[in-house]
């Protein structure tokens, strides 16, 4: 007999890095303006080191690291990596050391995530690279160096997405399903970021297993749709295997959109910045230029197209990343000037 997802999760050890559940909030001012009922799942409000999605993932990954006898975590990312910030905080909370391999990129300013990371004091190695997704070889070389010194490092890849860490968003899917059922809600669409694809894949599998049929909309922040779909297949198979479920489970309605990326990963688009301004000025909620701003921009574009109409309920999963706002201060200032929101006397 196939175990329920909740029962299957119990097999895997998990550390506790954040309180849950995170809020599921209706946004009345925004709903009135957009003509749809707009809700937000506040995973920016996880309570580890300024919040975000990573603690859910790290709870499973670091539990395995400790079970394997690791005494430190090694990971990598961009200079403004949310994952680096939250991995560093998680290791401190659990009594482990941390080494980071970060790209020396255009946002390497002592601001936002980098400032937060430096305050926490991990070992940081900066690397010249055109793409922070290519840092794995340097991170693995660092692991070998540390082993030669008698350390026991555990490597977590860029963004922290592994089959095991996806279980954090399987659990989040169960949490969201309970909130939807408890509040007797039905959503026409649920918007999530699609970076590596772990959040989207885990939520899609879990929500379908729990009978939630809302159309899942993934907004890509870095890859073309074809590559995202390949990642979905990879994560779907891996999560199904961990949970001892058949891979041919129903997926229902879903789509992945790559037209909101901009020039590249991390590029602050006009549409994304407009979305950040709208959310801030209507609801006092901050989004970021890399992930959540683009997710909201995608939802806004679809509402404008008439894909969702008056009376529809739309949910956006806010995965965090807000500290990056401060590293994009120049782009935001220029955008505010362009939109006429900076007084000339300033």
Residues serving a catalytic function are 81
Q: What's the CA gap between 15 and 90, in Å, rounded?
A: 10
Q: What's the CA gap between 13 and 16, in Å, rounded?
A: 10
Rg of the chain over CA atoms, in angstroms?
20
- Name the one residue in this structure whose structure tokens are 């683009």: 294
Tell me if 126 sits within 8 A of 97, measured CB to CB: no
**Neighbour-count burial of 277, counting CB atoms closer than 10 A to its CB (0-12 exposed, 13-18 middle, 19+ buried):** middle
How many residues are given for the chain? 346
- Name the one residue in this structure whose structure tokens are 């990963």: 265
**CB neighbourhood size of 233 (10 A):** 12
Q: What's the CA gap between 185 and 136, in Å, rounded?
A: 42
């Amino acid at each position: 007999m196939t175990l329920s997802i909740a029962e299957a999760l119990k097999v895997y050890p998990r550390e506790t890095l954040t309180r849950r559940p995170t809020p599921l909030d209706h946004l009345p001012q925004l709903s009135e303006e957009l003509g749809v009922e707009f809700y937000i799942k506040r995973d920016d409000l996880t309570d580890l080191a300024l919040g975000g999605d990573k603690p859910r993932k790290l709870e499973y990954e670091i539990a395995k690291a400790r079970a394997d006898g690791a005494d430190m975590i090694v990971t990598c990312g961009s200079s403004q990596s949310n994952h680096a910030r939250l991995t560093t905080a998680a290791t401190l909370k659990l009594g482990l050391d941390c080494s980071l391999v970060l790209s020396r990129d255009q946002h390497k300013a002592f601001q936002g995530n980098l400032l937060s990371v430096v305050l926490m004091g991990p070992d940081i190695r900066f690397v010249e690279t055109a793409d922070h997704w290519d840092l794995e070889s340097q991170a693995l070389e660092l692991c070998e160096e540390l082993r030669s010194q008698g350390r026991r490092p555990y490597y977590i890849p860029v963004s922290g997405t592994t089959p095991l860490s996806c279980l954090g968003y399987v659990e989040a899917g169960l949490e969201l399903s309970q909130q939807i059922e408890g509040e007797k809600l039905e959503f026409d669409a649920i918007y999530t970021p699609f970076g590596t694809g772990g959040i989207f894949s885990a939520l899609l599998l879990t929500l379908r297993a729990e009978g939630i049929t809302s159309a899942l909309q993934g907004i890509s922040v870095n890859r073309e749709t074809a590559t995202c779909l390949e990642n979905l297949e990879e994560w779907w198979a891996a999560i199904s295997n961990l949970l001892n479920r058949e891979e041919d489970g129903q997926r229902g309605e879903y789509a992945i959109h790559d037209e909101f990326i901009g020039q590249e990963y991390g590029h602050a688009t006009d549409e994304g910045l407009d979305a950040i301004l709208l959310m801030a000025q209507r609801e006092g909620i901050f989004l970021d230029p890399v992930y959540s701003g683009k997710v909201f921009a995608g939802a806004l574009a679809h509402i404008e197209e008439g894909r969702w109409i008056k009376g529809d309920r739309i949910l956006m999963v806010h995965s965090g990343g807000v500290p990056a706002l401060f590293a994009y201060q120049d782009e935001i200032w220029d955008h505010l000037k362009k939109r006429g929101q900076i007084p000339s006397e300033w």
